[in-house]
């Protein structure tokens, strides 16, 4: 019995010695939880591409991708320390920093820190041709999906409709649904139109356009000017979607990648560096990735830049505020 006990004790000591002798890097694996959006949007496939890049290029990290309700949920999760990097719309980020309760933020989220501006989201209002909707005014009395509740898309919907002199009360029915679910209802003729704030060529609208004849509804420059910052006028090029034969004017708002103050400087430096050193991989994940440019990385950033991101941009010669 004593011999058995001694053998077990020696085995335990040997395991402890092996653990202590193991390289520090092997035990100091850092998690990178990437907060994205719905699986049929742009954030998710781009988050998957980031996860692959980080897993291959940054030593001792374990990236994961989390599907979410997008901007607002992502920012709340970051404030709680439940993610390391997240995608968000610029207007949601601005609202989070200020604590805009109507936008879904009960208090200012002051732990948020910026990484980079990425690509613009286009406010894409797509109606079935049989609905007869050709203009914003035609939405009156119709059935519209405005995105998940308090998502960046839904905040965009409120702002654009208000600038056009419309409210949810003017609509026949309002559905608060993610992109893919909105498209399914349109295919089944249970919805007349969907508003989706996303990169050009988003999978959900490509799917819709191959199943149903569509009209892409213009957001005129006058409406965009009335909505004000952060919206800018932009163009959805002809043939972005099946059956869309002409270019259509609409509103756009910049997307950002953000983190929180508790993430280590070196990790954020590596995350930022590997975004811009692997833009080809991001563009391959979705066409919106082609619009990510180093010289636009700091445009309109509504929150303080994380020191790790600031270090990378200074190395690249960008002017970083103090």
Contacts of residue 18, Cβ cutoff 8 Å, sequence gap at least 6: none
pLDDT of residue 293: 95
284-291 mean pLDDT:
93
Compute the half-sphere exposure of residue 60: CA atoms within 13 Å on the CB side of its CA.
10
103-130 pLDDT, tens digit each:
889 999 999 999 999 999 999 999 999 9
- Would you give the DSSP letter of residue 106? S
Between 21-25, 46-50, 79-83, 101-105, the lowest mean confidence (pLDDT) is in: 21-25
- Would you give the DSSP letter of residue 305? B
pLDDT band for 236, please (50, 70, 90 cuts).
very high
pLDDT of residue 22: 41
Residues 69/152, Cβ–Cβ less than 8 Å: no
Listed residue (34, 92, 30, 31) closest to 259, CA to CA: 34
Query: Is the Cα torsion angle 202, 207, 208, 212 positive or negative in sign?
Result: positive
pLDDT of residue 151: 84
Q: How far apart are CA 315 and CA 119, in angstroms?
A: 22
Both structure tokens of 277: 């050193």
What are phi and psi for residue 264, nearest 5 degrees? -60, 145
Quick check: helix, strand or coil at residue 302? Answer: coil
What is the value of pTM for the model shown? 0.77
Listed residue (15, 11, 88) closest to 46, CA to CA: 88
Q: How far apart are CA 131 and CA 100, in angstroms?
A: 35
Expressed in percent and rounded to 5, the helix, strand and coil fractions of the chain are 45, 20, 35
Residues 86/257, Cβ–Cβ less than 8 Å: yes
152 has a pLDDT exceeding 60: yes
pLDDT of residue 300: 85
Residue scoring higher pLDDT (152 or 304): 304
pLDDT of residue 162: 97
213-233 pLDDT, tens digit each:
999 999 999 999 999 878 889
Residues 190/142, Cβ–Cβ less than 8 Å: no
Both structure tokens of 129: 């041709």
pLDDT of residue 25: 42
Query: Is the Cα torsion angle 47, 116, 281, 204 positive or negative in sign?
Result: positive
302 has a pLDDT exceeding 70: yes
155-166 pLDDT, tens digit each:
999 999 999 999
85-94 pLDDT, tens digit each:
999 999 899 9
193-216 mean pLDDT:
95
198-209 mean pLDDT:
94
Q: How far apart are CA 136 and CA 267, in angstroms?
A: 45
Per the listing, tokens 């003729």 go with 189
pLDDT band for 322, please (50, 70, 90 cuts).
low
pLDDT band for 150, please (50, 70, 90 cuts).
confident
């Amino acid at each position: 019995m004593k011999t058995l006990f001694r053998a077990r004790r020696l085995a335990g000591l040997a395991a402890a010695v092996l653990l202590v002798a193991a390289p520090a890097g092997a035990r100091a694996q850092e998690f990178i939880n990437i907060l994205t959006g719905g699986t049929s949007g742009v954030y998710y496939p781009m988050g998957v591409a980031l996860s692959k890049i980080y897993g291959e290029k940054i030593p001792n990290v374990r990236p994961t991708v989390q599907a979410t309700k997008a901007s607002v949920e992502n920012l709340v999760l970051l404030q709680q320390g439940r993610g390391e990097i997240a995608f968000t719309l610029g207007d949601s980020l601005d609202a989070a920093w200020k604590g805009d309760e109507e936008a879904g933020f009960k208090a200012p989220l002051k732990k948020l820190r910026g990484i980079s501006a990425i690509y613009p989201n286009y406010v894409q209002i797509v109606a079935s041709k049989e609905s007869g909707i050709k203009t914003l005014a035609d939405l009156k009395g119709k059935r519209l999906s405005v995105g998940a509740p308090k998502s960046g898309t839904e905040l965009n919907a409120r702002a654009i409709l208000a600038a056009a002199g419309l409210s949810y009360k003017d609509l026949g029915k309002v559905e608060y649904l993610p992109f893919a679910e909105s498209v399914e209802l349109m295919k089944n003729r249970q919805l007349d139109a969907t508003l989706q704030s996303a990169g050009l060529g988003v999978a959900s609208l490509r799917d819709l356009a191959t199943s149903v004849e569509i009209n892409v509804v213009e957001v005129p420059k006058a409406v965009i000017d009335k909505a004000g910052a952060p919206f800018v006028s932009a163009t959805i090029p002809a043939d972005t979607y099946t059956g869309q034969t002409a270019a259509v004017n609409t509103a756009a708002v910049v997307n950002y990648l953000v983190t929180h103050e508790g993430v280590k400087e070196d990790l954020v430096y590596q995350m930022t560096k590997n975004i811009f050193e692997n833009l080809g991989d991001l563009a391959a994940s979705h066409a919106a990735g082609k619009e990510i440019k180093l010289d636009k990385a700091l445009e309109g950033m509504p929150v303080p830049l994380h020191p790790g991101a600031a270090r990378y941009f200074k190395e690249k010669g960008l002017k970083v505020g103090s």
